[in-house]
Structure 1
Amino acid sequence: MGGTQESREIARAIARLKLPCLITVTTQAATHLYEPSPQQHILVGRLNPEDLQPFLLEQNIAAVVDASHPFAVEISQRAIAVTRDYNIPYLRYERPVSVIKQGDRAGGRGEVGTPLRSQADLGEAGGQHFDTLSDRGDEAVGAQCLRPKSQSLHPEPQIIELDSFTTLLQGNYLENQRTLLTVGCKILPRFQPWQNRATLFARVLPTVNSIDIALKAGFTPNRLIALRPPISPELEQALWQQWQISLVITKASGKAGGETLKRTLAQQLGISLIIIARPPVAYPQKTSDLNQVLTFCQQTLNPPK
């Protein structure tokens, strides 16, 4: 179960073992992650939970390696249930989490904290603040020139980990913030009530569906950017500065999902960062070690006699 950067490495390693492998991805674009191989077949399409059982049986699947996105909870839970019912070996490859370093300010899981500082407060506190040479509102942000007022780093930028989007939206974290959402398109409708209480921007995938969902959630075209990851550090930083962002919301998606880069930029620019923790899933077995994945595949498809 692929579609992630890690699944590309897993598929490449399985191909070197000359083991037959079927890879599932949700979009045609994701197929470009994988190198052509006679041992591999790529299936494009959204595999709904109710389709998973007949799919595994029809394809005569002998083992499942779940390398789907950490937030693709529904399909993982269904795969766990089906593989258990039909006694199909299952292994979750879990990308490593980014660890909050000493000096980061972390709110407890589920804790509704105090309001974040405003953009002006962040600048006055010593973060990298920018004077604007234009004062024509959001529509003119693209034409604004930004110049650093101070190159000093904020001594302790706010990096807060929350347990869920519900906790985020029930708190006052977004109040009066210029907020960049890098959380995918599916969750954007839940932010619609905040459109009049904060200045919200979103980065989404460059697909018609993603942009349509964002527009219906109240995001205007000048507050949307459609990009496919990975995002370079230079482009990420330029986007935050272009939109004069004071708060970034992201998922705990690990280094491969850009979380580590966002932590670094937040500290460098003195911009607050809120990280939504991964949903809890009771995986029967999981690993972050590629060698263990390969051993699992070999033992399953070529069991010792």
Structure 2
Amino acid sequence: MILLLAGTKDGRELAADLISAGFSVLASVTTSYGGALLQEIPGVIVKIGRLDAAGMQRLVDEHRIKGILDATHPFAVEISQLAQDVACTSGRPYLRWERPSAALPESSLLYRVQDWDGVAEKISDLQARSVFLAVGVNHLAFIVGHPLLSLCSFTARVLPLPEAVSTCLRVGLKPQQIVALQGPGSRELNRALFEHFQADALVTKESGPEGEKVAAALDLKIPVVLVERPVADSEGHVVSDKDEVIYWAKQVEGQQTIF
């Protein structure tokens, strides 16, 4: 059985591909929403909830896991490191799935930064006042409460989940500043959102499906602050081709030498 750490559309697609290829899959996901989406795939065993090292090790032992496929979000560096540690400790092969980066246009309005301090500094430099945030919820408090951004008004696009909306309210956003919407959306939809909220800057992450958001903002001459994805510190092989995932799974199930 393969342990698939999911949580993104890529993870669901990989689960379906592995099942179709005849493999047994235990998919771990953090949220009940993600779990419900995975449960739509016939044959997948779904584990819902956050995992620590002990919890992941229990899954590996109880389900006789033969390999760990890490298809978590590119910015979920903690769980990826945890998965590598458990794989190493338990002697299981580890494979990291990296979704390909979006092809983004060259533009003087596209600003790449390496971290969240860089986001605050760049927004301040741009003197933006109406900032559209498409960054998830984990860093909302940091951005909304940053002293450099005290004059900014924010709109946050988040998943349509109670916990996501609650986080927005907890950091001080009002209901009219929250867009609860499953993405990715079309270029036209994103353009309409930016126009409606009168955004004069977009902040998003280099996670893979950000191309339409970025293109829509640039259509409107809106500056884009793009947080570059963390550099994977992976001791295991990293792939972005689904055929390579299937090949790896065949090698794992056969207990043969793999990369």
TM-score above 0.5: yes
- Residue among 190, 194, 198 paired with 1:240: 194
Which secondary structure does the structure 2 equivalent of 1:179 belong to? strand
The answer as to whether partners of 1:203 and 1:226 remain within 8 angstroms in 2 is yes
Distance 1:264 1:224, change over 3 A: same
**Any idea what the Cα deviations from partners look like across 1:96-126, whole Å, max 9, x if unmatched?**
012443x423xxxxxxxxxxxxxxxxxxxxx
Deviation at 1:186, TM superposition (A): 1.3
CA contact (8 A) 1:247 1:273 kept: yes
Per the alignment, residue 289 of structure 1 pairs with 241
1:17 matched to which residue of 2?
21
Task: Trace 1:90-239 onto structure 2 (pairs within 5 A).
Answer: 90-101=94-105, 103-105=106-108, 158-171=109-122, 172-173=124-125, 175-191=127-143, 192-193=145-146, 196-239=150-193
Opposite residue 196 of structure 1, the aligned amino acid is S
Which residue pairs with 1:260 in the alignment? 211
Q: Contact conserved, 2:188 with 2:216, CA < 8 A, in 1?
A: no
> Which residue identity lines up with residue 133 of structure 2 in the other structure?
L
State the identity %. Answer: 30
Distance between the aligned counterparts of 1:206 and 1:304, measured in 2?
Answer: 43
The answer as to whether partners of 2:38 and 2:46 remain within 8 angstroms in 1 is: no
Question: Partners of 2:39 and 2:205 in 1: how far apart?
Answer: 25
CA distance in 2, matches of 1:288, 1:188: 29
The one-letter code matched in structure 1 to 2:42 is S
- Structure-1-length-normalised TM-score: 0.76
Question: Structure 2 vs 1, CA of residues 176 and 12 (structure 1 numbering), >3 Å: closer, same or farther?
Answer: closer
Query: Normalising to structure 2: TM-score of the pair?
Result: 0.88
**2:87 aligned with 1:83:** yes
8 Å contact kept, 1:160–1:274 = yes
Closer/same/farther in 2, CA of residues 163 and 229 from structure 1, 3 Å limit? same
Aligned to 1:67: 71
Q: Can you give the 5+ residue segments of structure 2 that lack an aligned partner in the other structure?
A: none
**What does the per-residue CA deviation read over 1:110-154, in whole Å, with 9 as the maximum and x for residues that have no partner?**
xxxxxxxxxxxxxxxxxxxxxxxxxxxxxxxxxxxxxxxxxxxxx
How far does the alpha carbon of each residue in 1:234-264 deviate from its partner, in whole angstroms, 9 at most, with x for none? 3222111101111000000112xxx110221
User: What's the offset of the Cα at 1:54?
Assistant: 2.6
8 Å Cα contact 2:191/2:217 also seen in 1: no
